A and B are shown apart, each in its own frame.
Chain A
Amino acid sequence: NAGVTQTPKFRILKIGQSMTLQCTQDMNHNYMYWYRQDPGMGLKLIYYSVGAGITDKGEVPNGYNVSRSTTEDFPLRLELAAPSQTSVYFCASTDRGNSPLHFGNGTRLTVT
């Protein structure tokens, strides 16, 4: 059982480039989330989705976009990458809104 799979594991971007961080879960979970983790800052919610076709902003959505065309996939798009987006990005999912989240192992992104 793979759980939550994130790709790529690492990426270096130049300022102004764009990329998509992939997230797939095989647990048939409706709720999916994108968090970013900066040193000493905990995890901040970027975007979330409560089901296919439904997405909404979290605390720090600026500079990012998401889509949810299937239950399994929840990609995060970075347009015009900036150094402030250097972070570790985690995707998570759950089957019910009050159940604990299952996390992927993250994508480490550096923007230079």
Chain B
Amino acid sequence: QKEVEQDPGPLSVPEGAIVSLNCTYSNSAFQYFMWYRQYSRKGPELLMYTYSSGNKEDGRFTAQVDKSSKYISLFIRDSQPSDSATYLCAMSTGTGRRALTFGSGTRLQVQP
């Protein structure tokens, strides 16, 4: 069983739709949760960063963390063709080597 599970997609939605991306994890020690966006042939870039449980909103993006269910989500409102990318969830315990553990990524395609 992978430590972080993420549906690989692809997920195809029409422009303007609300998109929901999700990850589940098994390590209850994870405290820091991130979403990265990765365009084709580019490095991942940070989209959202949250600590512990709760919600965080930034423009059209909302990140949710439910530690009791070991479940995190990213919502994209009014999706745009420029949102077409692979979305990677990542998490860290915040101790030791403090490296991130990544999900496998969900490929999103927003159709104009």
With A100-B49, A103-B43, A106-B43 in contact, do A42 and B105 touch (Cβ < 8 Å)? yes
Chain A positions within 8 Å of B43 at CB level = 4, 90, 92, 103-106
Please report whether the interface of chain B is mostly helix, strand, loop or mixed according to DSSP. loop
B104, A41: Cβ atoms under 8 Å? yes
B54 → chain A closest CB, angstroms: 16
Q: Rank and list the top 5 A-B pairs by shortest CB-CB distance, nearest first.
A: A97-B98, A103-B43, A42-B102, A42-B104, A43-B102
Does B99 lie at the interface of the complex (its beta carbon under 8 Å from any beta carbon of A)?
yes
A59 → chain B closest CB, angstroms: 9
B102, A50: Cβ atoms under 8 Å? no
Does A61 lie at the interface of the complex (its beta carbon under 8 Å from any beta carbon of B)?
no
On chain A, which size bracket covers the interface? 20 to 34
Chain B positions within 8 Å of A90 at CB level = 43-44
- Give Cα A58 to B44, complex, Å: 19
- Give Cα A96 to B59, complex, Å: 26
B103, A42: Cβ atoms under 8 Å? yes
Does B60 lie at the interface of the complex (its beta carbon under 8 Å from any beta carbon of A)?
no
Q: What 0/1 readout, one digit per residue, does chain A (97-112) give for beta carbons within 8 Å of chain B?
A: 1101111111010000
